[in-house]
C-alpha cells in the first residue's frame, strides 16, 4: 500500500492499536500528578542571567542564546502605525515527529511535554521539540531524546520537511523546521515520556481543550496528502475510509484555479505596500511602560511581558528563569467551509502581520486578537462572529494553547463553521474559496500559510 493510504488509514483509526485513547489520557493525568512543576512570576532581576542590555536596549541573557526581546516600530507615510515588543529568535528549531508501522497501522511517537507557559502543564507534543540552543546544548544540559533520528533524517522516509512561520504578531520573522519521518524497521526505544498513537487518536485528542500543543498541530498540517502518489486502484479504497466524501474530493481532486489569483494578491501587497519596519530599544517604545515586574502597554493591547522562575522535572535543564509573553484575553481564529458541487472548500484571506517573515501570508477568515475593535469587522468577519455567537453551522469549536515555551497561559478559541457558499455573495479583496488540495500544495513551501490557518486545518476530521 502507498504511504498516503497508510496515513489516511491511521487517520481513520480513532481508538488506536498500540495504546487506547483512555490509556493515553490516564498517562497524561498520571504524569501531571507526579511530575514536579513550579512556575512563579517574579520581578525582573536587572543584573541576573537575563538583563536589559543598555547598548541596544534589548533584553537578552548572558550567553546570548535562546532568544531576545526588542522593540519594534512600523511606519506608514512616516507615521508610527504600530509599536510593541517582539521576540527575536533567528535560530531554527526542530518540531519533529517519528512514525512507523506497528501491527499493520502507522503510529506516531508523541511526547507528554511540559512547557513553562502551558496553562495545564502536560500537552501532547512532537517526538522532539527543541530550539537550536537546546540540541546544540548551549544551555549546558543533555541533548534532547531522539535527536539522532532527525539529525540523520535522510536515512529514513521523509514525509514532511518544511520550515514554517510561527506567531507573527509576537515573533519577528521566526520560523521552525516541521519534520515528519517514517523510520521503517528501526528500533525505537519508547521512553516513559512518550507513547505511540495513531493519527486518528491525535485528532480525537485535539477535541480536548489545550491537550494537543501547537507544535504537533503545525507538523500534522503539513502532511502532503494531495501530492503523494497512490498505487493503482487504491484511490477507491482511500475514499471508503472517508465519512466526509466532500473532504475526500477536496483533497484528491486537483482542479482548483485559485492559486494564480492568490499569488497575484500576495505579490501585489509585497510590491506596492509601503511599510517600514525597524527594531528599536525597548526603552524607546513610547506607548509601553517598563516596570519591575512587567513590560505593559499604556492602552489596550493583546499581551505584556512578564518574568518567571521555572522548575520542571524531566527537562534537559530542570531550573531556570526567563521572560514570557502573557496574553491579555483570548483570541478567536476562525475558518469558513462549504460544500459546492460535492467538494469541500475553505474560505481564506491574505493576512499581513507585523513580524511576518515576508510581510504577508494566507490566514483564516477570522484572526481576532482581544484588543481588535468589534465594530471594525468586514462583512465576512461579521457573519462569522454572528454565527459563532449563535452556534450556527459550527463543526469545530475548541480552546487550544499557543506555544508554551515563549507564551504564558495563552489559549485561543479555534472554530470552523460550515455555511452555504452563496451566503457571502461578494468577497472583499484578498479573500478566496480554495480546496484542501490548494492549501496542501501551498504548505509544502515556506511561508505561505500562517500558523493560525495551519492549526485550523489540522483539526479536520475525515
Query: What digits encode the pLDDT tens for the residues 111-136?
Result: 999 999 999 889 999 999 987 766 66
% of the chain at pLDDT higher than 70? 97
Q: Cell match 507544535: residue?
A: 215
Report whether 116 contacts 39 (CB < 8 A): yes
Is a pLDDT exceeding 60 seen at residue 376? yes
Instruction: Quote helix, strand, coil % in the chain, to nearest 5.
Output: 25, 35, 40
Tell me the mean pLDDT in the region 403-421. Answer: 95
Of the options 3.90.79.40, 2.60.40.1180, 3.40.50.2000, 3.20.20.150, the CATH number for the domain spanning 259-275+330-457: 3.90.79.40
Closest CA to 449 of 460, 462, 433, 438: 438
Per-residue pLDDT tens digits for 289-318: 999 999 999 999 999 999 999 998 776 777
Q: How far apart are CA 369 and CA 331, in angstroms?
A: 4
Degrees, nearest 5: CA angle 169-318-53: 50
- Which pTM was predicted? 0.95
Q: What is the mean pLDDT of the chain?
A: 93
Q: How far apart are CA 261 and CA 258, in angstroms?
A: 6
Q: How far apart are CA 451 and CA 95, in angstroms?
A: 13
Burial of 36 (0-12, 13-18, 19+ CB in 10 A): exposed
Task: Please give the residue that has the higher pLDDT: either 124 or 358.
Answer: 124
Amino acid at each position: 500500500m502507498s504511504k498516503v493510504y497508510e496515513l489516511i488509514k491511521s487517520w481513520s483509526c480513532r481508538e488506536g492499536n498500540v495504546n487506547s485513547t483512555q490509556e493515553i489520557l490516564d498517562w497524561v493525568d498520571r504524569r501531571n500528578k507526579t511530575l514536579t512543576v513550579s512556575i512563579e512570576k517574579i520581578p525582573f532581576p536587572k543584573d541576573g542571567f537575563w538583563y536589559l542590555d543598555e547598548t541596544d536596549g534589548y533584553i537578552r541573557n548572558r550567553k546570548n542564546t535562546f532568544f531576545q526581546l526588542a522593540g519594534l516600530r512600523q511606519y506608514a507615510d512616516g507615521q508610527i502605525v504600530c509599536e510593541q515588543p517582539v521576540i527575536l529568535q533567528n535560530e531554527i528549531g526542530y518540531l519533529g515527529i517519528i512514525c512507523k508501522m506497528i501491527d499493520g497501522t502507522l503510529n506516531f511517537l508523541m511526547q507528554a511535554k511540559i512547557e513553562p507557559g502551558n496553562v495545564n502543564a502536560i500537552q501532547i507534543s512532537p517526538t522532539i521539540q527543541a530550539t537550536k540552543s537546546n540540541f546544540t546544548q548551549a544551555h549546558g544540559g543533555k541533548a534532547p531524546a531522539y535527536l539522532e533520528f532527525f539529525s540523520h533524517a535522510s536515512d529514513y522516509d521523509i514525509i514532511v520537511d518544511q520550515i514554517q512561520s510561527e506567531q507573527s504578531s509576537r515573533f519577528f520573522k521566526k520560523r521552525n523546521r516541521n519534520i515528519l519521518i517514517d523510520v521503517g524497521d528501526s528500533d525505537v526505544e519508547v521512553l516513559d515520556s512518550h507513547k505511540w498513537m495513531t493519527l486518528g487518536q491525535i485528532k480525537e485528542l485535539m477535541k480536548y481543550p489545550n491537550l494537543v500543543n501547537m507544535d504537533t498541530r503545525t507538523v500534522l498540517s503539513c502532511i502532503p496528502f494531495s501530492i503523494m502518489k497512490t498505487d493503482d486502484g487504491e484511490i477507491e479504497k482511500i475514499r471508503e475510509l472517508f465519512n466526509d466524501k466532500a473532504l475526500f474530493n477536496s483533497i484528491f481532486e486537483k482542479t482548483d484555479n485559485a492559486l494564480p489569483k492568490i499569488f497575484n494578491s500576495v505579490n501585489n501587497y509585497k510590491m506596492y505596500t509601503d511599510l517600514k519596519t525597524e527594531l528599536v530599544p525597548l526603552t524607546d517604545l513610547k506607548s509601553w511602560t517598563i516596570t519591575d515586574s512587567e513590560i505593559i502597554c499604556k492602552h489596550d493591547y493583546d499581551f505584556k511581558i512578564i518574568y518567571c522562575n521555572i522548575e520542571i522535572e524531566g527537562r534537559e535543564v530542570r531550573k531556570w528563569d526567563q521572560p514570557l509573553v502573557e496574553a491579555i484575553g483570548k483570541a478567536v481564529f476562525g475558518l469558513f467551509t462549504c460544500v459546492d458541487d460535492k467538494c469541500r472548500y475553505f474560505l481564506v484571506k491574505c493576512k499581513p502581520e507585523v513580524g511576518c517573515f515576508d510581510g504577508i501570508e494566507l490566514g483564516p477568515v477570522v484572526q481576532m486578537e482581544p484588543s481588535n475593535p468589534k465594530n471594525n469587522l468586514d462583512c465576512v468577519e461579521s457573519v462569522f462572529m454572528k454565527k459563532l455567537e449563535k452556534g450556527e453551522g459550527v463543526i469545530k469549536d475548541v480552546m487550544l494553547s499557543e506555544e508554551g515555551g515563549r507564551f504564558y497561559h495563552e489559549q485561543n478559541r479555534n472554530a470552523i463553521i460550515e455555511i452555504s457558499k452563496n451566503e457571502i455573495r461578494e468577497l472583499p479583496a484578498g479573500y478566496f474559496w480554495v480546496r484542501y488540495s490548494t492549501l496542501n500544495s501551498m504548505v509544502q513551501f515556506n511561508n505561505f500559510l500562517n500558523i493560525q490557518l495551519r492549526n485550523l486545518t489540522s483539526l479536520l476530521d475525515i
